[in-house]
Structure 1
């Protein structure tokens, strides 16, 4: 694959994965609207691994806390911040994994990859984010994140398997609806991405590994590294902006893009 296209794909994935504007939707739109060769599942997996590394690096303190609590959490203990975080992430991931397997086995995952679906998802879930952000309370933090909230946010995250929804956007929507501040909601949403992207990468990566060759592995490595760097930059910028800016600019972008896509789809 040309280096220019790899750079473009990595930038799109890195920038959009953690902004509430849907990375999967933008990756599908790239070949659909530009005529470029579809990058294929292998490159998609690679850029998602890159963004996974970015969020681990950025939230390393929280990640370390969760990893330390994981053994006791698996034994059913919920007596430390680490065990509560680890168990919450497990509970929040289960609905997405189950729904993802269902979509993959039924073939619905391929049927949803259309400009029409992405356009409606961009528009509808952008407006849902706006309402939740404007009406949401701000009294909760990560320390208040229990299993009930984890399950509710996991169900919200499950919807993100519809292209155009945005995994970060829909989980932040759920967090704001539950009463978490913008920064804390984004923090939880980003941490939730770690087991979700890991599970997706393992599931899809198994299929990719069977067909991989030297050239493809090289392209995957380049794409992953570039996606990690762009994701780190985007994540750092977004978390800083959330101290003073609402999600409204992202909502406006989603609404405009959704209307443009729907006009193309129905023209």
Structure 2
């Protein structure tokens, strides 16, 4: 991507994060890959470095743990790496009634989906502004546009990411830094195994490669948020602008109640 040399991608070991790593490496960007699965990250880093001649560094870290963002930042500082593009992709969700889901898991979900996004942004944004060059892509969700019963915490966390990203785009765009929320609909990744939804039939879901390629095009066009896929974009617009909120949440609740 023009003017951007090094990208840091969280949740890079699989799914959307892995697709970001592959496509950014193919565009010639050096990479910093962050996730828990160190062996998988090392394998991916070696593959992309050999295939595209880019630098690829690995930071193995559980970003759902308090203080993890500082650990990542300290490692990039130690290595002397400047992050031009930050992709906050790591996230998790789980389907079920809020009152019955494990509290510790939901607390970790908020730390990963919300706190870590804010902290990573806080740590890497100042240098981007000082250079007057940089970008941040925060991966939200189509669920960000409406309340979603039985995915209550997950959807609320992604609504935060969407609004946070749009606000930052307005704040720091004049400083040469662009921020975008990527809001995909259901994507064919292992996310659904953890979420407990649609674990077998996924042929109707969007491939992560398509989500990322269209998302990067939207980022280059300076979109503050982007929903990949016409159908999902229409549904997001309808849910947030057209339907009565009581009806939207009723439909969403029936859709997600049984997975």
Q: TM-score range by the shorter chain?
A: 0.3 to 0.5
TM-score of the pair, normalised by structure 2: 0.35
State the structure with bigger RCO (CA 8 A, min sep 6), 1 or 2: 1
Higher helix share: 1
TM-score of the pair, normalised by structure 1: 0.34
